[in-house]
Amino acid sequence: LDAVTYHILLSGKKFEVASGYQFEVSEYEHPPNDQCEDATPIASLPLSTYGTTAGATSDFGGIADLCGISVDSRGVWYTLVGDGKITRLEYSMQITGGRLDRELSVFTGSCSNLSCVKNTEGSGQYNTAAIYEFHALQDVTYYFLLSGKSFVVASGYQFEVSAYDHPLNDICDDATSITSLPLSTTGTT
Q: What is the pLDDT of residues 4-22, one digit of tens each?
A: 888 888 777 766 667 777 8
Highest averaged pLDDT of the listed ranges 47-51, 111-115, 148-152? 47-51
**pLDDT for position 91:** 94
**pLDDT for position 6:** 82
Single-letter code of the amino acid located at 110: S
Where on the phi/psi map is residue 56: left (φ > 0), alpha (ψ -120 to 50), or beta?
beta
Highest averaged pLDDT of the listed ranges 132-141, 146-155, 162-171? 132-141
Asked which of 89-93, 112-116, 166-170, 174-178 is least confident by mean pLDDT, the reply is: 166-170
Look up the pTM and report it: 0.79
CA neighbor of 117 nearest in space, from 82, 149, 150, 83: 82
Burial degree of 87 (CB within 10 A; 0-12, 13-18, 19+): buried
Dist CA 85 CA 31 (whole Å):
29
Asked which of 16-20, 88-92, 111-115, 148-152 is least confident by mean pLDDT, the reply is: 148-152
State yes or no: pLDDT of 132 exceeds 70: yes
What are the φ and ψ backbone dihedral angles of 11, each rounded to 5 degrees?
-155, 165
> At 103, is the pLDDT very low, low, confident or very high (cuts 50, 70, 90)?
confident
